[in-house]
Structure 1
């Protein structure tokens, strides 16, 4: 009875996260595209929304695998679900990094608007290219493995044998380790360094800007830029708070703890990865995306 109740709560949460992700991101895209002023930050938010929607599709694969304990989507589903998970993770984190860079450049008025638009478009092309390259091992070296599971029936001298399917890789443990290190550096160390660096630059600039704003003649521009800086800093901060523990835990369980400890921990904790990610993304989009413009 308790198991059924908890399962019902879990299904409800997953359903709300999935629907919330799709609806909120679609609303963000429609709102931004309906405005006449297509700024560079609008391009980045639309890109982030598209990546969120694609990433949310993984909830279908993720949740069904938890409930059935067997992969039901075939070999293509293995390749597709793993590939979009890596792809969207990379695209999302680098888009947030690009947001912090764009806000800093805009606040400092370093480059003209047309040039910033061209640079932003080029960055988006590079981000998606990188995102498509990193899932390479999952696309070409993943296969569907078949195994059997025997269950003893209570109070009866009989058993039931079921076939279980799971996603496996042709790569060796060392090859997978190399890819994980590359992914860790590419999807965590590099973008997080960019985010932290430009966030600190924004904070420093904001402090100087506040001191100077009384001397500026155009108060509306001052308020607009200050507000934009604060909002992006809030987005970046919420992103770091929600994603950093996951990457630290992933590094700890992969490279430090013993294998016998790692497996149960991963099964219990990492199963909530998508829920936490989508909750974070939906939260800051609901609060901030309209005010940015």
Structure 2
């Protein structure tokens, strides 16, 4: 982001970004807390999907609780110092990587559960899931390490802001770009597309109501992921190609759209609870009897039934151990 950006550009884009971030916080903080509390208190039998949704809510909550820092910074200035700048950026990047990996894993799990329903019924599934989740979180923290070295506090029209990235060379910028765009968007999006093409094809041949419900939730999550992340990666791609070009890059374009597209990414961390509620329709009566609780319970019991039993209503042949 260039220091030569005009004050008017900063004010307009900063105000727009602050509005988006404020909306993300108002939706995301209570929404993700509600999802975490609902699953912990009311869903005793937890399937792969429900556990992944729980961890996704935790990752999204960690992202949205950093929003007051960014909102204050855009409205005033970054007063929290350079160490806090790197720490907050690292938490955000780590949890966003983790969120993307969790969404991708949910899509793969949906494909496996529908295409090969008995493969997830092993008593070893709990140990496998624990290792998988640990690996996802570790990868998220590892892939976010470059953000510690590249982000720093600098002046924007005389105001300190934690929005600047500095690279030691163009090759380092290219590597960081490929790491963020390919690992965090291109590959996950390709996996998501392939899995759901396969899922849609298989579901057309079967009447699996509970699995359709789980798949509907995750399809909504995937669509929201694509809409919220695409502008951010498109803006970064244009900026990188401008830097590779012999012409002077259009920093004005990058300054305006990087703030807006970056704020839109935070919206993704607040949308998922809204999507769950939408799929569950609306709250009715006490929370214990609400459709949101019923949704997670239905998703949790998906793997306890074989396809034949789901169609005939017969007893379940498999057993799924609860996941803590």
Under a length normalisation based on structure 1, what TM-score does the superposition of the two structures give?
A: 0.77
Q: Which of the pair is proportionally richer in helix? A: 1
Q: Which residue of the other structure, out of 205, 208, 216, is the alignment partner of 1:230?
A: 216
1:77 paired residue number: 84
The secondary structure found in structure 1 opposite 2:44 is coil
Change over 3 Å in CA distance of 1:284–1:166 after alignment to 2:
closer
Question: Could you tell me how far apart the structure 1 residues matched to 2:97 and 2:23 are?
Answer: 24
Contact kept in structure 1, 2:221 and 2:275, CA below 8 Å = yes
Change over 3 Å in CA distance of 1:280–1:123 after alignment to 2:
same
Contact kept in structure 2, 1:24 and 1:285, CA below 8 Å = no
User: Higher relative contact order by CA 8 Å / sep ≥ 6: 1 or 2?
Assistant: 2
Question: Could you tell me how far apart the structure 1 residues matched to 2:17 and 2:152 are?
Answer: 29
Q: Which residue of the other structure, out of 213, 227, 231, is the alignment partner of 1:245?
A: 231
Correspondences of 1:250-269 after superposition (within 5 Å)? 250-256=236-242, 259-261=249-251, 262-267=253-258, 269=260
1:86 paired residue number: 93
Contact kept in structure 2, 1:39 and 1:117, CA below 8 Å = no
CA RMSD of aligned residues (A): 3.1
Shift in Å at residue 239 of structure 1? 2.4
Shift in Å at residue 180 of structure 1? 1.8
Q: Which residue of the other structure, out of 50, 67, 77, is the alignment partner of 2:58?
A: 50
1:138 and 2:138 are equivalent in the alignment: no
Change over 3 Å in CA distance of 1:64–1:254 after alignment to 2:
farther
1:187 and 2:178 are equivalent in the alignment: no
Shift in Å at residue 271 of structure 1? 5.0
Instruction: Give unmatched runs, 5+ long, in structure 1.
Output: 150-161, 211-221
Deviations 1:88-123 (A, max 9, x none): 111111111111111122223141433443333222
Question: Could you tell me how far apart the structure 1 residues matched to 2:187 and 2:17 are?
Answer: 34
Change over 3 Å in CA distance of 1:191–1:246 after alignment to 2:
same
Q: Which residue of the other structure, out of 86, 94, 102, is the alignment partner of 1:95?
A: 102
Question: Could you tell me how far apart the structure 2 residues matched to 1:36 and 1:227 are?
Answer: 19
Change over 3 Å in CA distance of 1:166–1:27 after alignment to 2:
closer
Larger Rg: 1
Under a length normalisation based on structure 2, what TM-score does the superposition of the two structures give?
A: 0.70
